[in-house]
Amino acid sequence: MREKLQRGRGKEVEEMAVDLASVIQIWLAALFTIWAYSFAFRDNAFFKFAEHTFVGAAAGHNIVYAVDNVRRYGWDPLSKGATLYAVIFLLGLVLYTRYHKKYFWLSRFPLAIMVGIGVGLSLRAIVTAEFIAQIQSTAGMKVVGVDSFTAFNNLLFIVIVLAVVYYFVFTFPVLHGGSRGAISTFARWAMMAAFGYSFANALLSRITMIFGRLDYVMNTWLPLPGAILALPLALILLIYSMIPAKKRPWPK
Amino acid sequence: MSLFVRRQLPIAIVSITAILVMADYFFRIAATGPIVRDLQNWGIILSAFALGFGAVNLFIVHTRHISKQTSNQWPYSIWLLFMVALFAGVGVFIGPTSTQYMWIYNASYFALSATLYSSTGFYIASGCYRALRARNVQSVILLVVGGIALLRNAPMLAAGYPILIDIDGWVNSVPTTSAQRGIMIGAALGAIALGVRTMIGRETGFLGRRTEAER
Amino acid sequence: MSSLWKKLEDVPREVLYGLFLLAFIIPMLSPFGLPIPISADVRKWFATIDALPAGSTIMIDMGYSAGGEPELGPYAVAVTHHIFKKGKLKSIYMATSIDGVQLWETLMAEVKPEQYGAKYGTDYVHLGYMAGTETAMAKVGTGPMPSTDYKGNSIAQMPVMEGIKDATSFKLLICYTTGGDQSEGWVRQWVTPYKTPYLSCVLALMIPTMLPYYRAGQIVSLVSGATAGQYELLNKIPARGIKSADVISICHILIFAFVVLGNIAYYARKASEGSRKGG
């Protein structure tokens, strides 16, 4: 079923209480967007500035939520009498001995707890979710008692699953030699089909994301006073900064 | 003794913790329930502590740049550390959902994150023209399937040519799902093997660099 | 002749980027109003939420990062409109992504739940970001729930948390995510042990890796954020998703043309070089 929605042209007219803080925020976000995209053309000083801004902001954001989680899940129970949490606090700090030349091995203990929990959580569910359930689903595909197209599809499905699993058995090299190599070749073809599908979807993802940013620049920033003049200026400065330092008059 | 404490004990902790977590799930032993719930809480706290590693590494690297005045880098390093301090300071002392924090978040981090994440789209577009070549059977299959999916993903074409939806549906449900399922089963086997090897101490990557005694 | 094909084959990337940008800008300046078909998966997602009985509680994971917001944000907005518009549903949000709380604030500012009479603490609550991904999912699954919301306020007396103790208290699980850890983690930690119905919205590029779970019946409906326009059509609340449809169409046609042209130039050059050597 297909439905059609006719959309009129032009921008939405939106009532917005635009204060100075919001205006500055929009300007900064739009300029950062333009500077970040400029790397696709050439590395330049504005991109480096944007890149370092992002890395610093991301690290700071991580610290904020590290403190938040330690406070909510560690400090609060500890302050309510769960004294064992003092040990976990200590272990959390001991993680940072990793940077010490002599006592780095102390960090192995809290790491061991984290790794143990991770291994336990994933092992207990992987067997059911990614092994048994997948095999059950494959084994349950009917090749008799259904129409010929469905039977063909199901048979092809089962053959591809088996071939791909066979392809990834590297323990016995003899499995891939001689005429048995045809199974691996067939598996590679099937995987190429999957990767082709993935490639198209990856492109769809990126296009949607780029649209989101360009929509912001065009429909949120450009309508602001001065932005329409600032855009060509920003682009000229960007192009100038892309000139190699030796070839431009200033700065060297 | 030293080698036991520094090497064998952490491996033993991994095994015991993993076994407890799995035993609680598979055998529903009453005694393990509260222990595992506490362990999960501890896991969250330790993961939260681990979030600071990025900032520490950045601090080490960029203070080195600043002290050595690495040309064309040190001013950016100062700015980077300033941003770390700004976000951490505002977020921790004023609040991560405060107006001030949301302002700096939306003005910088959000815009840059979204932009950098999407910028690979340009490289994909350029790569499609300059690099994607139908040179052999495998690349032909990739291009044909990719081309069908590309056309189907254009809503206008999918609406105008419904056969694209049917073909894409077949590609989606037969070769793609089956190949991915095969990959998933293989990866699951590998993950199980890796988990068991970690528990028995054959996989020791998480221990990090070796002490003198271990060398 | 072969030099012409060589020039065509070696078009500078700046030209390609420029054409790519034009494919965005032209439909944005002048929307064509191109049609959008609605997929069966999006309809299934919509129907699943519509079929929820009154009083049901939904666990919603804001598992996407700021980088994925342009794709997943519009879909999350459309679904949130649907949930609040339907009414009599309780939504408990959590974040396995470190950006989840900030993105949730942005989401709520766009949706304005008060227009549907929804109140924080009564109809919805946010439990905050929890580090550890699968550890956090397992903790919330086994219970007890965190004792505070994302601002540190106690949730014990909030009506929305009444009767909520573990995964079995939820009728539906929704996850918007940019990470395989989250989308697959929920299958391992909630769907497998508790059989919670699971709706997954991921980046389009993650769809192929999630398909095996979907076809095995572990996920009720699997969509990408790029289908937001379709959900908005079903919801009858047009927003950012529909705006992108024209751009997506034109860009895809351009990329298809790139692939075809690039290969034509390659093979034509090889053929003309081959005939030059032979002749």
What pLDDT shows up at residue A249? 80
* Gap between the Cα atoms of C205 and B123, Å rounded: 15
Interface test with C, best of A128, A130, A211 (most C CBs within 10 A): A211
C135·B128 Cβ contact <8 A: no
Q: Is the minimum CB–CB distance between B43 and chain C shorter than 8 Å?
A: yes
pLDDT in tens, C174-213: 999 999 999 999 999 999 999 999 999 999 999 999 999 9
What's the pLDDT score for residue A244? 85
The answer, for A244 touching chain B at a CB cutoff of 8 Å, is: no
Condensed to tens digits (0 to 9), the pLDDT of residues C98-137 reads 999 999 999 999 999 999 999 999 999 999 999 999 999 9
Q: What is the pLDDT along chain B (215 residues), one digit of tens a residue?
A: 588 888 899 999 999 999 999 999 888 788 888 899 889 889 999 999 999 999 999 999 999 999 999 998 999 999 999 999 999 999 999 999 999 999 999 999 999 999 999 999 999 999 999 888 898 999 999 999 999 999 999 988 998 999 999 999 999 999 999 999 999 999 999 999 999 999 999 988 888 887 777 76
CA distance A42 to chain C (A): 10
Question: What are the tokens at A96?
Answer: 């940072």
Contacts of C68 in chain A (CB under 8 A): 209
CB-nearest to A209 from C71, C128, C206 is: C71
Interface list for A 195-234 with C (CB within 8 A): 197-198, 201-205, 207-215, 218
For A33-75, what is each residue's pLDDT tens digit?
999 999 998 899 999 999 999 999 999 999 999 999 999 988 8
Q: Taking CB atoms and an 8 Å cutoff, what residues of chain C touch B105? A: 102
Cα gap C120→A209, rounded to integer Å? 30
DSSP chain B: -HHIIIIIHHHHHHHHHHHHHHHHHHT--TTHHHHHHHHHHHHHHHHHHHTTHHHHHHHHHHHHHHHHT-TTTHHHHHHHHHHHHHHHHHHHHT-TTSHHHHHHIIIIIHHHHHHHHHTHHHHHHHHHHHT----SHHHHHHHHHHHHHHHHHSHHHHHH-THHHHHHHHHIIIIIHHHHHHHHHHHHHHHHHHHHHHHTTS--GGG-SPPTTT-
Name the architecture of domain C40-238: 3-Layer(aba) Sandwich (3.40)
Instruction: Check B36 against C142: CB less than 8 A apart.
Output: yes
Q: Which residue of A has its CA nearest to B180?
A: A194
Query: Residue A16 above 60 pLDDT?
Result: no
Query: Confidence class of residue A5 from pLDDT cuts 50, 70 and 90?
Result: very low
Cβ of C159: how many Cβ atoms within 10 Å? Answer: 11
Chain B: touching chains (3 or more CB pairs < 8 Å): A, C
**pLDDT, mean over chain C:** 93
| Residue in C36, C213, C225 nearest the CB of A208 | C225
B152: distance to nearest CA of chain A, Å?
Answer: 9
What does the pLDDT look like over C170-182, one tens digit per residue?
Answer: 999 999 999 999 9
